[in-house]
Chains A and B, each alone.
Chain A
């Protein structure tokens, strides 16, 4: 990924910044110009919680070339308490445990190295919440 693009995406990648639509209240992540629910154009900036629930998941055994050394790894669609849904890797657990309903904490991690220069690209990965600690933000 060219560095201007990576730099531009820092608010959503580092701070999980989303937009809350002033028209209908939908939380849109990553932020957009137009609300997909009501086409409203006015948003308040909001940061997502650092917790989420797995909606659906898989374990990738055949990765793209730049993640060759990572496989197998788990990826999932997760939903935060604000209702934002997005995809992320789920790590630091038995891959077989990544199933719908799993509670995860979102932790800031290295996601990938890009380009010949090996730019370090960061973001969030899900880590299963310790037993009894579900929902803690």
Chain B
């Protein structure tokens, strides 16, 4: 396998972007990445997109978006793994370059969620239709059951959940691309409307439009495109039973644990060496479970990490410096790529007010469904 580098990134603002279509969003992000690298060609494009079909009535977005980019003719395909679509598109692009199949590959993600679809119902298609959705379960309901299970087993409290949102909004306020740039308080979170008990509106990531793109090439060719390439040190992908009911412990994200184990082995490092991480906080409880499964804290101890400042900017391991899905926004197919971009910027000292000083190793973890898909990438400053 060849060493692979990220050499450029592009990303739209995340939010309710009513003036932009699915194709506009993709082209804006992709063009920014290509312009940064002064690249005039591509060998392949992988687009993470959860549900162009249900959100906008448009499938077959690989060919469509390559065409919109003025690149009709290149190899292009859409990658779908629910909310992990972006992270899995990155992995597909990484494998494409590492294997030698292609030299210059765009890994992108895009979702257009505000064109009028029943968003709750569309997102629910990432759960088990026959045994979960049929009975009225929603995504917040699945994560709410994970939360109650975690609270029951480990004593995690609603205030612990609130602190994840408070921390991520504090981070997001420093991110010009974030959907929400205002801070929230524990009291505001506790007073927000119930979505699925114990989860309230301010424990949940929002409905967002947005796109993100990164450009990959062999590390040995990276200096053609940038003077500060970032190496992809590892990629781990794993799955778990689709239905929450079929996992041994509803409060443990075993796919995340498995994907992380593969990534740590590939990179030859352990969780304690990671200096900055983006994790999949689609709901506050998800961040708590993810930092446990990634090995940043012991099993059952994730609840206090945000409150204690352990995962805040300035803490032992800053998590979701971008604001996370909670404050930055969660256009589902774009999220995995946006996470990679935050780590890319951190490792190039480009994160501005959010910069983690001297970070050399960063991690991005993206997941789909109630944790049935998980993908972990580790990035290294070179």
Contact = CB atoms under 8 A, between A and B. Distances in A.
Contact of A9 (B130, B132, B196, B197): B130
Is the interface on chain B under 10, 10 to 19, 20 to 34, or 35 or more residues? 35 or more
B138 A57 contact: no
B194 interface: yes
A107 B149 CA distance: 25
A118 interface: no
Tell me whether chain A's interface is mostly helix, strand or loop, or mixed. strand
A33 interface: no
Interface residue tally of chain A, by bracket?
20 to 34
Given A30-B131, A65-B118, A75 B245 contact: no
Given A65-B121, A75-B141, A87-B243, A56 B132 contact: no
A83 to B, nearest CB: 11
A30 B245 CA distance: 12
A85 interface: yes
Contact of A123 (B135, B137, B198): B135
Contacts of B132: 87
Interface string A1-31: 1000000010000000000000000000010
Nearest to B127: A87
A110 to B, nearest CB: 12
Interface string B208-247: 0000000000000000000000000000000001011110
* Complex A-B, nearest 4 residue pairs according to Cβ-Cβ distance, in ascending order: A58-B144, A85-B245, A56-B149, A64-B121
20 contacts: A30-B130, A56-B145, A56-B148, A56-B250, A57-B145, A58-B144, A58-B145, A58-B199, A61-B196, A62-B140, A62-B195, A63-B120, A64-B136, A65-B118, A65-B121, A67-B136, A77-B245, A86-B245, A87-B135, A88-B135
